[in-house]
Structure 1
């Protein structure tokens, strides 16, 4: 029997650009909420990031949503938005604080319109001396210790994927769901505030606590080698057929099983039995692991290691990731159609996803649902025509955000 999505019947208004807020509402949509993406006349920037057209970000995180195009800087557009907002359960945005005040969309402004609204603001910094400063994903990386340790040719560099934006979006969802529970208990008008900077602090808390621990123990700052390199044998190694294998070598049991699976004499070497010993002999251990893996093809090594219970996987390029049988299991991918093309888009990972799966709307064109949703919110048809005529709202136009031809 098909399960009812947990947020079925809930309406979420998204006023988001790029990633943090759209990622949060993407998760809420996957949980069954109706998500209305409100965009300015120029659209979300992710609509024009790839050859003048929509990017993978837009396709992956905007399918299942509806689009309303409103110029909030106009009095008429703002009034229309307020009518729409009054029909919602949740409002999620990532406007800069100054922009939220200018557009009269602060928490106080929105609660005056809809006292029971769950108001969620994802911003650069939460309360504090920098609360009005702007921040983005790499700014959060730079200010919380991540970037300093990630260097390309000696220069601090961003990680690549915008993980802090996505973490902030996920934290926002947790806050929204908690606020909904409070609303169910009779507490209305709940506010959720998530800062990218504070998200970065929380994500880095293990490393920050570790640095303090070393200071307490040694009386001076000292770092472990970054990431997996603090544990010899934990990382990527090349097989004889030039495929990269990533090994999970976290503890002494993993090391023993690895040595036994690969037929290494080090299985009985007491001088390398503990992680502490292996760290002291890092280069020796790395040489042992490299030689052992490179002596076998990927399939041979994987068969030996998996039989012994050693965690390993291939380091895959993006174009091969969705070929894996694990990725093709029911409930893991959604088939999304967009402009005549088909996309396999990973869904929000949760138990029972295959049973709760609903047909997903394709990513909306800008303003595709403007008239439908404003009229349903109580804006009269003649008022909608006036709003269209003065440019306060827009509807989808063929050819908008078209990809440039590939030469």
Structure 2
């Protein structure tokens, strides 16, 4: 196995839900030791599915160690400070008020470990809303994404927490950039990633586009999204009920598509250019729907592949990992967890997947880590008795049994 670049680095995560756990998931996949510090109540995602761990917890927390600390106790804070002194990086996504209350601000932790890289993923970075709360959908609402995504006319969140994940990835990029510097300053060791600022960056293309239209046209005209601005680009149903997503970005793509599907429009010079196809959007869309709808999936796929047209079947989640492309070495990590088997997608770019830890039970590694910090057996027992730390207990966060009548509905 290739030596991983962050091997030997210790990362402390105080994370909940998605943003910080996703960031430390990436750091773990790059070789870092990630210690997930959780309160005695555990990460919220430990109890989201029938009282037990959710897909989010399983996907983004395998390979980590769990240390359960009550940071609101003096003894717990002492344990945490010792841990911080041993670490290279701390990353968290707690609210600004909780960060101050628990005494885990950048100043607090720099006093313990001046060489620490500190990354706080929060609602907003510097500005008048610095202490305001924001979540993934709030970032979507405030940066234009939600206005473009409407269900029955009502602005709605996208579904997946992409802004959380982008923010986590941006945090990793900043951390790696800091590690590359031979002598980062104290300020450079303090990283703030705002969900709002993440949303701005993700929306940069659309924000630049609306400014362009304002200056060219004098009005804030916007397209309904990339696929709707290019007729023939999008999802179309074949005659056996499955769906194809067609990639038609250029005039050359259009010509290949129309020819592959035997469309008479392939020979129409009035449709050769995108600008003209946009003017006849309804005609083009109807023609593509009709041509695709005459074919079964296998025949349509064969024709499109032979013509060099980009496409994919629109797959439901339960079929995604069965695709031959997903089965190639280095793409899926086998995880056995609580008697169940999972295949977790690996960090992109791996050639192979090495065995790793399953998702940890709450406090599973508490005693092991305390001993590594210099606490002897008696001190460990005292901390547990004082409820300054917690250890794993059988039956915690168990999935409720599925009743026969409820099977498939949970």
Counterpart in the other structure of 2:395: 399
Aligned twin of 1:314: 313
Deviation at 1:56, TM superposition (A): 0.3
Name the counterpart of 1:386.
382
The question of whether the paired residues in 1 share the 8 Å contact of 2:59 and 2:344 is answered with yes
Q: Quote the Cα distance in structure 2 between the aligned partners of 1:15 and 1:32.
A: 19
Corresponding residue of 1:100? 99
Is 1:260 the equivalent of 2:256? no
Give 3-state SS (helix, strand or coil) of 1:354's partner.
coil
Post-superposition CA distance 1:10-58 (Å, at most 9, x none): 1110000000000000000011111000000000000000000000000
Where structure 1 has 5 or more consecutive residues not aligned to the other structure, the ranges are: none
For 1:234, the equivalent position in structure 2 comes to 233
Distance of 2:345 and 2:218 partners within structure 1: 47
Question: How far has the Cα of 1:188 moved from its partner?
Answer: 5.2
For 2:407, the equivalent position in structure 1 comes to: none
CA drift at 1:222: 1.0
Q: Distance in 2 between matches of 1:48 and 1:188?
A: 40
1:184-226 deviation per Cα after TM superposition (whole angstroms, max 9, x unaligned) = x122541111000000000001001101101000112111123
Q: Which secondary structure does the structure 1 equivalent of 2:196 belong to?
A: helix
Match of 1:187 among 184, 187, 212: 184
Q: Is the 8 A contact 1:239 1:295 kept in 2?
A: yes
Report the Cα distance in structure 2 between the residues aligned to 1:63 and 1:80, rounded to whole angstroms: 24
User: For residue 354 of structure 1, what is the aligned residue in structure 2?
Assistant: 351
User: Does residue 127 of structure 2 align to residue 128 of structure 1?
Assistant: yes
What CA distance in whole angstroms lies between the structure 1 residues aligned with 2:402 and 2:30?
37
Q: Could you tell me how far apart the structure 1 residues matched to 2:61 and 2:157 are?
A: 25
Shift of 1:148: 1.1
> 1:177 is paired with a residue of what secondary structure?
helix
CA contact (8 A) 1:83 1:379 kept: no
Secondary structure, in 3 states, of the residue corresponding to 1:91?
strand
Question: Cα distance, 1:382 vs. partner?
Answer: 2.3
Could you state the TM-score of these two structures normalised by the residue count of structure 2?
0.96
* Residue 402 of structure 1: how far off its partner (Å): 0.4
Which residue matches 2:211? 212
Q: Distance in 1 between matches of 2:226 and 2:150?
A: 13
Question: Could you list the runs of 4 or more consecutive aligned residues of structure 1 that deviate by over 4 angstroms after TM superposition?
Answer: none
The answer as to whether partners of 1:29 and 1:64 remain within 8 angstroms in 2 is: yes
Q: How does 1:219-298 map to 2 (within 5 A)?
A: 219-298=218-297
- Cα distance between partner residues in 2 of 1:187 and 1:138: 34
Within a 5 Å distance, the mapping from 1:59-98 to structure 2 comes to 59-98=58-97
CA RMSD of aligned residues (A): 0.9
1:4 corresponds in structure 2 to: 3
| Match status 1:175 vs 2:171 | no
Is the Cα–Cα contact under 8 Å of residues 171 and 194 in structure 1 kept in the other structure? yes
State how far apart, in whole Å, the 1-side matches of 2:201 and 2:26 are: 21
Distance in structure 1 (CA, Å) of the matches to 2:61 and 2:206: 34
- What pairs up with 1:51-62 in 2 under 5 angstroms? 51-62=50-61
- Encode CA deviations 1:341-390: one digit per residue, 9 max, x unaligned: 1101101111xx134x3211010000000011111012333222211111
Cα contact 1:86–1:114 (8 A) shared by 2: yes
Instruction: Quote the residue 2:363 is aligned against.
Output: 367
Native 8 Å contact 2:148 2:224 kept in 1: no
2-structure distance, mates of 1:151, 1:227: 15
- Tell me the distance in 1 between the aligned counterparts of 2:357 and 2:220: 52
Residue 323 of structure 1 corresponds to 322
Distance 1:358 1:314 in 2: 31
5 Å-filtered alignment, 1:158-173, equals 158-173=157-172
Structure 2 counterpart of 1:149: 148
8 A Cα contact 1:80 1:379, kept in partner: no
Which whole-Å CA distance do the structure 2 matches of 1:149 and 1:188 have between them? 41
SS in structure 1 of the partner of residue 211 of structure 2: helix
Which residues of structure 2 form unaligned runs of 5+? 404-410
Structure 1, residues 304-341: CA drift from partner, whole Å, max 9, x if none? 01111100110011000001000000000000110011
Matched length: 401
Q: Secondary structure of the residue that 1:233 maps to in structure 2?
A: coil
| Distance (Å, rounded) in 2 between the aligned partners of 1:30 and 1:197 | 26
Q: Which residue of 2 aligns with 1:50?
A: 49
